[in-house]
Amino acid sequence: MIDPVAFAIGPIVIRWYALAYLAGIFLGVGYGMLLLRRKSLWVNGTPPMTPDELFDFTFWIVIGIIVGGRLGYVLFYDPLVFAANPGQIIALWDGGMSFHGGMLGLMVAMIVYLNRKKANIFSGLDLLACCATIGLFLGRVANFINAELYGSVTTMPWGVIFPGGGDLPRHPSQLYEGLLEGVLLFLVIRYFTHVKLVLRRPGIAAGIFGIGYALSRIFVEFFRLPDSHIGYLAFGWLTMGMVLSLPILIAGIALIIWARTRRHA
């Protein structure tokens, strides 16, 4: 396996996980700036913000992801432990981030920002949908490097023996998620934004992201081991990740229906 520590300078340790977060944010912002410059892609030729405004918004992206991701993990995955030890909530260095919480935090930051600008909020959510897959891919690769969130035992030739996962090869479920939620979903959304021009109907790209992410996550959860302190919620296969993905799936479907039936100037 790859060393989770990318490099160290004296007592300062830089991990691949942190670099993946930073790279995902800045590459996503860079891609978003390219999309915003293509005004012809957007409804009425009006993007939800300018490229410079998106660059300035990067700080709020970082805050939204970190605060939302951490609070999501605290509330969804281990509320009793953190209620007994509230000081551990800020101990980000010990790990524990929720994608669902990070996504909600990022959406709240975008909605508040665009509402103040009186810009199209649904176009802003479409922008996030186009860019988020980059961070998802890099984040899952970092999970693989950290040897965390691995899957069940497998006899498939691509099985991996993870440190702490025993002597038997296991599904590299982190890479499954990275390929589905990151690479494949990016290509699907790219096709719809640049060929079908769905950014001219605000909400559709965000809906596609919601459906694609939820279906990918639910599928991979059948191979991925649940958090040890939670386990399976029911039936020997239902996980917290599946439960949290269902509202995203429903919201994605609802967004597409709403966007397709709403008339735009």
* Residue (of 97, 100, 94, 88) closest to 70 by Cα position: 97
Write the pLDDT tens digit of every residue in 96-135.
Answer: 677 778 888 888 999 999 988 888 999 999 999 999 999 9
Q: Is 140 marked as binding a ligand?
A: yes
Measured CA to CA, the distance from residue 183 to residue 138 in angstroms comes to 10
pLDDT at position 265 is 47
pLDDT at position 230 is 81
Measured CA to CA, the distance from residue 253 to residue 255 in angstroms comes to 5
Is residue 231 predicted with pLDDT exceeding 70?
yes
**Cβ pair 101, 70 in contact under 8 A:** yes
- From residue 105, how far is each of 5, 13, 109, 234 by CA, in Å? 27, 27, 6, 28
pLDDT at position 263 is 67
Amino acid at 256: I
**Cβ pair 89, 70 in contact under 8 A:** yes
* Residue (of 151, 133, 122, 138) closest to 260 by Cα position: 122
Name residue 134's beta-bridge partners: none
End-to-end CA distance of the chain: 54
